[in-house]
């Protein structure tokens, strides 16, 4: 079963079908086709599959729609990303059991991916609206080769599973999350044995029965209709609202039965970190007891984005206590840990022993506090609800517990936020005092006096915890070495795997990187960026703690003949697109406009499913306002990925990252490093070699032989073409990342690329010499030539 987190939006499913001819049968066999104008109908006559056009469109799609009682309402679409341009399409079942949609030139527009081939396959439309491919003599749908229920559109029907295979990567205790691209719009809160804690309106009813399955194999939410004659479905609207519709009769039609999002407090993290939303209060947002607004002035103007911070610092060794809450939606559980066998008392002790644990709760409210759920980091997306008796305990400094404030936000009367400037000054002075003892060479290299307190807005790990997690930073746990220092694998007591970057004792550049990582990556949230979990500044140690990614970095695969075989073309193309989306977020969609300045294969990490995550923001810089470029006397980075204007003159911009991205794509396609590439016959860099092959229309000579049996010619050629546009010598000729993302996924005609930067070995060598000699004009204390060396 494919992952259904997040729910996918597909507006086509609101359109109507115009169908003409129906087969009497509900299935097709191998070799049979469904042409435009023909349909198949489920045995009970409830659903129909065929071609259709949305209103005011000439594009054609293959979809499943209701035939009765509400004819024409689409519930599933096959080729929603790739429409047909005419009515000459054909849906075909191959002898191997693969559904393919062909256009008028017999080109494949859409196909069903299958994990195994079939003998005598049939494709059958069931009366549940599930379109399945199975063996001709197999009546067991549990062994279906492929089924449309595993590839939902915007409609969840009775019998479908909304969830994922547990064998695939997942973090924290399960919840339902609604996202728009990479931005979380709302979440359900965790399942409490009866309902999701953030959806109290989900209760027993006369229309459907619902449940949540969480076992060793899969995790999913489901519902089954109590009366098949009363259709009901959960629909994700085009504006991102999950709504349940139920059919009444032909007069009233479909009516809105319920909605998952009911008010502003269902907006994800409306009140920021450690905040609580109460729709009955004015203002809606308040801080949890013992917390105060991070930026008071923002709260006075109704901006709660930055949330709340603790009024009193925790004292893990000296003894903390817990404040009990009820009638709240439990926080986002993506940074959580759980145990199904613990009781509530054991859960409390487990949280107390772990200094990173900030809250705990029971898992299942049907028992007597059965199970244990722990939170780490920040408490996000809490709101007041009226029907949640689940107990939730927040870790507090002992002095905060038992004060005049009630732990239950609902019991507090709404009051204005009044925090004096004196308190703010005291907090800032306290922060400065804490870090003064970590001075080296007359400066606070972790944080400056002038930095805002957001620089410290990161969970602090105890040194002992990290020593134990990494077996005292043993060589066996060492993952690699960079300009910052060594990176180690660690395992926390709760079983969570982490990666620890430890500043080397004599690394002056690492001190800058540490400050940069804190300043930038903490503010970034994107599925294609590495996630930072916290930091440690203790006993002259400075460390950054990240999520652990088991497949390490991209260079371990594309430049290795043995490992490279496992990275077939579909995976490589997914990596190319993922890196492009990550860069687009940095350049355009993040709070800060960030230039990475060191994008390379070594800094692209791969998760369990080989999805890419951009890492190492130690050299990053940000732009504000209308800034678009800057220059520096201190050129650092990795030669071979640096753009000419940066390597030679110190000018950098978003186009510098675009150049690095182009180099990376050519390396992914070819399996060859740009740095050190040497053509046997001509003095060409990898960029020059690719450009000459493109000019002579000899693309095939560039492609890595390891992907020869798996590559898609159209995708490979487009990737090479886009890469060459990115590495053009003049930065003004290079596209923005928004255009790159669009070009990679479209079929539009692309402009011809001009000559790339560092066209041959001679020019590259000249560039190195020029850059080196330029640096000699400056003080040795200010200038480094580390950009000429691998980092």
Distance in angstroms (rounded) separating the CA atoms of residues 93 and 83: 19
Choose among 338, 337, 336, 327: nearest CA to 276. Answer: 327
Here the tokens at position 42 are 């489920």
Distance in angstroms (rounded) separating the CA atoms of residues 663 and 167: 34
**Contact in structure between 587 and 639 (CB atoms under 8 Å):** no
H-state helical runs in 250-290: none
Distance in angstroms (rounded) separating the CA atoms of residues 92 and 113: 14
DSSP code per residue over 501-553 = EEE-TT-HHHHHHHHHHHHHGGG---TTBPPEEEEEEETTEEEEEEE--TT-B
**Contact in structure between 671 and 706 (CB atoms under 8 Å):** yes
Q: Within 10 A of 566 (CB to CB), how many other CB atoms are there?
A: 12
Catalytic residue list contains 598 = yes
User: Alpha-carbon dihedral of residues 71, 73, 76, 79, nearest 10 degrees?
Assistant: 100
The catalytically annotated residue of 26, 598, 657, 704 is 598
> Would you give the DSSP letter of residue 730?
S
- Exposure string for 648-658, b = 16+ CB within 10 A, e = fewer: bebbbbbbbbb
Choose among 107, 20, 279: nearest CA to 271. Answer: 279
Choose among 530, 648, 515: nearest CA to 582. Answer: 530
Q: Within 10 A of 669 (CB to CB), how many other CB atoms are there?
A: 26
Query: Is 600 labelled as part of a ligand binding site?
Result: no
Contacts of 189-192 spanning 24+ positions with Cβ under 8 A: 189/329, 189/330, 189/331, 189/333, 189/381, 190/330, 190/333, 190/336, 190/363, 190/373, 191/221, 192/330, 192/363, 192/364, 192/365, 192/388, 192/390
Distance in angstroms (rounded) separating the CA atoms of residues 757 and 102: 41
Here the tokens at position 684 are 């060409």
Q: Within 10 A of 140 (CB to CB), how many other CB atoms are there?
A: 8
Q: What angle do CA 599, 604, 605 make, to 5 degrees?
A: 155
Choose among 373, 291, 367, 366: nearest CA to 331. Answer: 373
Return the beta strands (E) in 313-466 as ranges: 320-325, 328-329, 336-339, 357-361, 372-376, 382-384, 392-397
Choose among 573, 545, 572: nearest CA to 489. Answer: 545
- Exposure string for 468-506, b = 16+ CB within 10 A, e = fewer: ebbeebeeebebeebbbbbbbbbebeeebebbbbbbeee
Distance in angstroms (rounded) separating the CA atoms of residues 415 and 281: 9
Distance in angstroms (rounded) separating the CA atoms of residues 614 and 612: 7
Give burial (CB, 10 Å; 0-12/13-18/19+) of 400: buried
Here the tokens at position 174 are 């399960």
Distance in angstroms (rounded) separating the CA atoms of residues 490 and 483: 20
User: Alpha-carbon dihedral of residues 738, 739, 744, 750, nearest 10 degrees?
Assistant: 180
With a CB cutoff of 8 Å and minimum separation 6, the contacts of 65 are 16, 17, 19, 47, 48, 49, 52, 71, 72, 73, 74, 75
Distance in angstroms (rounded) separating the CA atoms of residues 692 and 669: 16
Choose among 343, 333, 353, 318: nearest CA to 492. Answer: 353
H-state helical runs in 7-90: none
User: Alpha-carbon dihedral of residues 570, 132, 45, 74, nearest 10 degrees?
Assistant: -20
In the annotated binding site, the residues are 501
- Catalytic residue annotation: 598
In the annotated binding site for ATP, the residues are 501
């Amino acid at each position: 079963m494919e992952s259904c987190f997040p729910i996918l939006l597909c507006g086509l499913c609101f359109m109507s079908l115009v169908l003409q001819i129906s087969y009497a049968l509900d299935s097709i066999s191998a070799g049979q086709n469904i042409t435009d104008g023909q349909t198949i109908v489920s045995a009970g006559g409830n659903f129909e599959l065929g071609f259709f056009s949305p209103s005011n469109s000439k594009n054609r799609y293959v979809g499943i729609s209701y035939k009765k009682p509400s004819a024409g309402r689409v519930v599933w679409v096959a080729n929603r990303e790739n429409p047909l341009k005419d009515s000459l399409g054909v849906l075909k079942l191959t002898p191997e059991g693969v559904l393919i949609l062909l256009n008028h030139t017999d080109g494949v527009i859409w196909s069903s991916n299958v994990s195994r081939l079939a003998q005598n396959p049939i494709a059958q439309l069931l009366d549940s609206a599930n379109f399945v491919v199975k063996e001709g003599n197999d009546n067991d749908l549990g062994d279906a080769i492929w089924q449309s229920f595993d590839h939902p559109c915007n409609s969840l029907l009775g019998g479908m599973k909304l969830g994922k295979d547990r064998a695939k990567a997942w973090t924290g205790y399960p919840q339902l999350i609604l996202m728009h691209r990479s931005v979380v719009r709302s979440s359900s809160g965790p399942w409490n044995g009866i309902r999701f804690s953030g959806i109290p309106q989900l209760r027993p009813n006369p229309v459907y029965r619902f449940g949540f399955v969480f076992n060793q194999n899969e995790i999913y939410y489901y519902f089954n209709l109590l009366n098949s004659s009363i259709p009901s479905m959960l629909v994700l609207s085009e504006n991102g609202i999950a709504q349940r519709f139920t059919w009444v009769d032909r007069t009233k039609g479909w009516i809105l039965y319920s909605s998952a999002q009911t008010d502003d407090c269902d907006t994800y993290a409306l009140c920021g970190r450690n905040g609580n939303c109460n729709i009955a209060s004015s203002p809606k947002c308040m801080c949890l007891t013992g917390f105060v607004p991070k930026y008071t002035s923002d709260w006075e103007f109704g901006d709660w984005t930055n949330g709340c911070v603790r009024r009193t610092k925790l004292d893990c060794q000296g003894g903390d206590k817990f404040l009990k809450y009820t009638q709240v939606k439990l926080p986002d559980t993506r940074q959580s840990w759980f145990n199904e066998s613990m009781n509530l008392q054991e859960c409390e002790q487990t949280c107390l022993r772990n200094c990173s644990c900030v809250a705990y709760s029971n898992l299942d409210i049907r028992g007597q506090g059965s199970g244990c759920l722990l939170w780490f980091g920040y408490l996000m997306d809490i709101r007041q609800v009226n029907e949640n008796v689940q107990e939730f305990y927040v870790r507090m400094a002992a002095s905060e517990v038992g004060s005049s404030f009630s732990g239950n936000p609902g019991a507090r009367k709404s009051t204005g936020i009044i925090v004096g400037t004196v308190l703010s000054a005291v907090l800032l002075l306290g922060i400065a005092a804490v870090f003064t003892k970590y001075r080296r060479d007359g400066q606070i290299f972790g944080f400056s006096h002038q930095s805002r307190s957001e620089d410290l807005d990161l969970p602090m790990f105890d040194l002992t915890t990290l020593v134990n997690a990494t077996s005292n930073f043993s060589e066996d746990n060492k993952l690699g070495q960079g300009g910052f220092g060594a990176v180690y694998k660690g395992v926390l007591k709760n079983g969570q795997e982490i990666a620890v970057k430890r500043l080397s004792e004599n690394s002056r550049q690492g001190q800058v990187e540490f400050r940069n990582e804190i300043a930038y990556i903490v503010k970034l949230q994107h599925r294609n960026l590495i996630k930072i979990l916290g930091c440690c500044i203790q006993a002259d140690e400075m460390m950054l703690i990240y999520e652990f990614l088991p497949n390490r970095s991209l260079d371990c695969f594309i430049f290795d003949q043995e490992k490279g075989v496992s990275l077939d073309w579909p995976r490589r193309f997914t990596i190319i697109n993922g890196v492009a989306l990550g860069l687009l977020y940095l350049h355009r969609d993040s709070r800060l406009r960030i230039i990475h300045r060191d994008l390379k294969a070594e800094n692209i990490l791969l998760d369990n499913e080989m999805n890419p995550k951009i890492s190492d923001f130690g050299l990053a810089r940000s732009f504000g306002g209308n800034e678009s470029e800057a220059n520096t006397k201190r050129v650092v980075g990795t030669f071979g990925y640096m753009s000419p204007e940066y390597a030679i003159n110190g000018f950098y911009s978003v186009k510098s990252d675009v150049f690095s991205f182009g180099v990376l794509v050519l390396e992914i396609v070819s399996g060859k490093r740009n740095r050190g590439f040497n053509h046997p016959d001509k003095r060409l860099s990898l960029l020059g070699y690719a450009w000459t092959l493109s000019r002579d229309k000899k693309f095939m000579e560039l492609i890595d032989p390891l992907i020869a049996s798996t590559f898609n010619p159209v995708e490979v050629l487009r990737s090479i073409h886009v890469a060459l546009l990115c590495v053009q010598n003049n930065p003004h000729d290079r596209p923005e990342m928004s255009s790159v993302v669009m070009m990679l996924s479209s079929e539009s005609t692309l402009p011809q690329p001009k000559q790339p930067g560092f066209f041959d070995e001679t020019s590259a060598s000249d560039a190195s010499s020029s850059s080196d000699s330029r640096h000699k004009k400056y003080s040795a204390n200010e200038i480094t030539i580390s950009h000429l060396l691998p980092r």
